[in-house]
């Protein structure tokens, strides 16, 4: 049993939760209990509450500050993706539900003729959010959609020479942000080293896709990502080493957990020395309670630590089976 390689078995901690969706995911993903339809989760009060706020066009209204409105930033796009993460990752919803289909069509309506989804950074390229958005759409059942195929073509076309990705706007001083938003999309300087934060978000789309996860481009990016474990990033606002250990679920930014989750789906092995070091860190940093801490999301979800623990356990079960 993989749990025997840990100080404390985390399964009891997870099973004691009053979170119906968490227990469902635990039974289906870690304990391999008899299959149940995920549709039983779609009737939960928290799901109905979230769906009630969906707008007619499929989006969710962003309620925070909107300083980029005049520059064309699409706050509804990021809010819709944020909520889709909960629906798909926690409540197993997919395009068979009309709300998910409407939300997906709203997101895909932000795709340009070039193939990229755009709007969170005004009219500028955003490969990192592009990958994270595509991941959720693929998991929602859009893996065979031509628009997803066009997205992969765009991502592959806009890689760095080393096989990863950057945020093109990050090549400039942040004080220039809104002036850059007024210009045509800035292409990446491909000679620059990749950002592991951007690469880790992009690779989640490849890892989620049953065919693209096997591609030469995905493997090259995966090799680059694992080689950067515990290092500072090249350039972006999440540069320092401590960001590797700031976990949350559903995933947002790149951290050690999201990276290992993607490499798991791409069938990397514990025989890899970089993977070994990542798994060793998770094992050594287990809390006395048996779980792992979330760095974000506690205000919204009192079970944030338990959901992170569930995600860690998925990774450990895969790699420690060897």
In the chain, what are the helix, strand and coil shares in percent, each to the nearest 5? 55, 0, 45
pLDDT at residue 183, as a whole number: 86
Can you give the pTM of this predicted structure?
Answer: 0.96
pLDDT at residue 322, as a whole number: 56
pLDDT at residue 292, as a whole number: 98
pLDDT at residue 144, as a whole number: 97
Bridge partners of 281?
Answer: none
- φ, ψ for residue 295, nearest 5 deg: -90, -20
Tell me the two tokens of residue 233.
């990033």
Q: Say which residue, 27 or 175, is predicted with more confidence.
A: 27
Task: Round the average pLDDT of the chain to a whole number and report it.
Answer: 95
Q: What is the C-alpha to C-alpha distance for residues 289 and 114, in angstroms, rounded to an integer? A: 49
Q: What is the C-alpha to C-alpha distance for residues 221 and 297, in angstroms, rounded to an integer? A: 29
Domains of the chain are: 1-36+269-322 (no CATH), 37-268 (1.50.10)
pLDDT confidence band for 173 (50 / 70 / 90):
confident
Residue range 240-262: mean pLDDT, rounded:
97
Residue range 223-244: mean pLDDT, rounded:
93
Asked if residue 134 has pLDDT above 60, the reply is yes
Asked if residue 174 has pLDDT above 80, the reply is no
- φ, ψ for residue 296, nearest 5 deg: -140, 160
Residue range 287-304: mean pLDDT, rounded:
91
State the alpha helices, DSSP H only, in 209-272. Answer: 216-227, 256-265
Residue 225: its H or E element: helix 216-227
Asked whether the beta carbons of 9 and 292 are under 8 A apart, the reply is no
Range with the lowest mean pLDDT among 32-36, 125-129, 238-242, 262-266? 32-36
Tell me the percentage of the chain whose pLDDT exceeds 90. Answer: 86
pLDDT at residue 211, as a whole number: 98
Axis-axis angle for helices 127-137, 75-85 (nearest 10): 40
pLDDT confidence band for 68 (50 / 70 / 90):
confident
pLDDT at residue 235, as a whole number: 78
CA quadruple 250, 255, 258, 261: dihedral sign:
negative
Residue range 148-160: mean pLDDT, rounded:
98
pLDDT digits (tens, 9 = 90+) for 82-130: 999 999 999 999 999 999 999 999 999 999 999 999 999 999 999 999 9
Asked whether the beta carbons of 87 and 61 are under 8 A apart, the reply is no
Among 291, 287, 319, smallest CA distance to 307 is for: 291
Asked if residue 201 has pLDDT above 80, the reply is yes
pLDDT confidence band for 181 (50 / 70 / 90):
confident
């Amino acid at each position: 049993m993989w749990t025997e390689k840990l100080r404390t078995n985390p399964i009891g901690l997870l099973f004691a939760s009053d979170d119906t969706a968490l227990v469902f995911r635990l039974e289906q993903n870690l304990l391999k209990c008899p299959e149940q339809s995920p549709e039983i989760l779609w009737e939960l009060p928290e799901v109905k509450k979230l769906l009630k706020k969906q707008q007619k066009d499929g989006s969710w209204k962003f309620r925070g500050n909107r300083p980029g409105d005049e520059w064309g930033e699409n706050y509804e796009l990021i809010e819709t993706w944020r909520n889709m993460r909960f629906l798909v990752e926690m409540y197993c919803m997919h395009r068979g539900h009309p709300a998910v289909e409407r939300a997906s069509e709203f997101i895909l309506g932000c795709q340009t003729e070039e193939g990229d989804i755009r709007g969170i950074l005004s009219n500028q390229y955003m490969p990192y959010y592009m990958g994270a958005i595509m991941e959720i759409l693929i998991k929602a059942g859009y893996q065979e959609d031509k628009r997803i195929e066009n997205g992969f073509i765009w991502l592959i076309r806009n890689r760095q020479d080393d096989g990863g990705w950057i945020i093109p706007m990050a090549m400039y001083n942040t004080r220039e942000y809104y002036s850059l938003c007024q210009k045509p999309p800035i292409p990446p300087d491909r000679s620059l080293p990749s950002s592991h934060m951007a690469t880790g978000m992009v690779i989640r789309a490849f890892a989620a896709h049953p065919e693209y996860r096997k591609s030469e481009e995905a493997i090259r990016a995966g090799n680059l990502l694992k080689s950067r474990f515990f290092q500072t990033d090249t350039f972006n606002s999440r540069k320092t080493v401590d960001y590797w250990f700031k976990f949350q679920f559903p995933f947002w930014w790149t951290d050690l957990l999201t990276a290992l989750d993607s490499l798991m789906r791409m069938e990397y092995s514990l025989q890899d020395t970089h993977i070994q070091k990542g798994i060793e860190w998770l094992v050594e940093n287990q809390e006395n309670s048996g779980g792992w801490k979330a760095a974000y999301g506690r205000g919204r979800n009192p079970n944030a630590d338990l959901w992170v623990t569930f995600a860690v356990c998925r990774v450990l079960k895969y790699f420690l089976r060897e």
